[in-house]
Amino acid sequence: MKTIRETVDTKTETVMITGNKPLRGTVTVQGSKNAALPIIAACALINGKVTLYNVPNIYDIRMLINILESLGAKYTFEMNVLEIDCSELQNGVVTEEFTTQIRASSLLLGPLLARFGRAELGMPGGCSIGSRPLDIHMSGFEKLGAVTKLEYGVISIGAESLEGEFHLPLPSVGATQNLVMSAMGAKKPVMLHNIAIEPEVMDMIHFLQEAGAEIEYISETKSLMIHPCKLSTHVTYHVQSDRVEAGTLLCAGLITKGEVTVTDINPYHMQAMLATMEQMGADVSTTENSVTVAYKEPLRSVDITTMVYPGFPTDMQPQFGALFTQAEGRSMITETLFNSRFRYFEEMRKMNAQVKLDSHGHTCMVERSQLTGCKVEGHDLRGTAALVLAGLSAEGISFVTGLRHMYRGYEDFITKLNHLGANIIYV
């Protein structure tokens, strides 16, 4: 199979935004970053060719593919279709040269352990949004019979076989995904309790079931019963669309007093954010695979608390933080999952955002603000997107730099905004 290697984006780091222009129109949502990453990691379990459709062409995806390539995989990736063959993977060792670039490299622990009986991984990197330890992953591996070690910044895991039960102390998305993939190599049943039930987790499970995995979900207890199985050598799968990109585009319409429709998306996966928009006074309408949100004056202040699914998603907190600057009254944001996710407000204050953070960095009060254009810098994926939204609403011209962070999760975000009527140019 022909190998195509892509590394970093060549797009510019900075955009110039002429604000205060209502966005109107319809756009199609990209494939889900947070679903595609674990599914691609799970391809390491398949001793043959996998064809994935609707894979977003973004930095994190290409980095994970390149890691698998370094282990012996062959692939092509064109027009959002990934064909990857992991039948010639050589070992389960991933060096920090790759892992420091992408947090999702940690998702290779489970499948490499299942395939080779051992996995060795440099400590993962990713966005600077606070502490994201792997302790639940490690505890789960150990409970199921693996031996783990963290030494000199390298994670090592080994197991002759996995079996037994593990109750996740918290419904961690990454730990759930890693433990499910590791169980693909088990010779006896594995039971996981209190799992994460995010749509992206379920999409990975559906992919594995399509590959022949025998996984039973028990909704009453949020548990999985995983039986020993032999996976197929050829799998074709369509990755679900990205609810976070959809929510970000809808926020762009609201913050500019416009009306935006996103298509190729499951509204059921967006219930918490759509309910929040309705509480703010927006008109929200849905079909089986689309959502339309229209501005209705005035937007009202609301309070949100980030939670695991089906609660309000932490990955939408910064975008709603920007949106709250245009709502009457005072909104409160409580961040329960990450301890450094308000950094974008430090930049937004330069635009005259009226915000007050508590001393612990978990709660923020946001008041209606007359944003004015200036130069700001993004420091993480969703925070950078929030600054772009603020620039769309601001009076005058804004320069947003640090877009390399945004390219990690959004494929054609600026192009889509301009299609809706924004005035954004790369500089």
For residues 178, 30, 96, 9, the Cα torsion angle rounded to the nearest 10 degrees is 180
Dist CA 89 CA 35 (whole Å): 22
Name the one residue in this structure whose structure tokens are 């799992």: 195
Q: Strands of 264-407 (E only): list them.
A: 283-286, 290-294, 303-305, 330-334, 354-357, 363-367, 375-377, 397-401
DSSP class of 183: G
Q: Has 337 been labeled as part of a binding site?
A: yes
Q: Has 20 been labeled as part of a binding site?
A: no
Dist CA 425 CA 427 (whole Å): 6
Closest CA to 108 of 55, 99, 100: 99
Catalytic residue among 127, 229, 251, 374: 127
Dist CA 336 CA 248 (whole Å): 20
**Does residue 86 carry a catalytic annotation?**
no
Q: Read off the tokens for 165.
A: 């039960």
Q: Give the sign of the dihedral formed by CA 342, CA 343, CA 345, CA 346.
A: positive
Dist CA 413 CA 426 (whole Å): 12
Dist CA 233 CA 239 (whole Å): 19
Q: Has 34 been labeled as part of a binding site?
A: yes
Dist CA 181 CA 199 (whole Å): 16
Burial class (CB in 10 A: 0-12, 13-18, 19+), 89: buried
Q: Has 33 been labeled as part of a binding site?
A: yes
Q: Has 103 been labeled as part of a binding site?
A: yes
Paired residues of 84 in beta bridges: 50, 75
Q: Strands of 90-185 (E only): list them.
A: 93-94, 118-122, 147-151, 154-158, 164-167
Question: Binding site for phosphoenolpyruvate: which residues?
Answer: 33-34
By annotation, the residues acting in catalysis are: 127
Question: Binding site: which residues?
Answer: 33-34, 103, 315, 337
Question: Binding site for UDP-N-acetyl-alpha-D-glucosamine: which residues?
Answer: 103, 315, 337
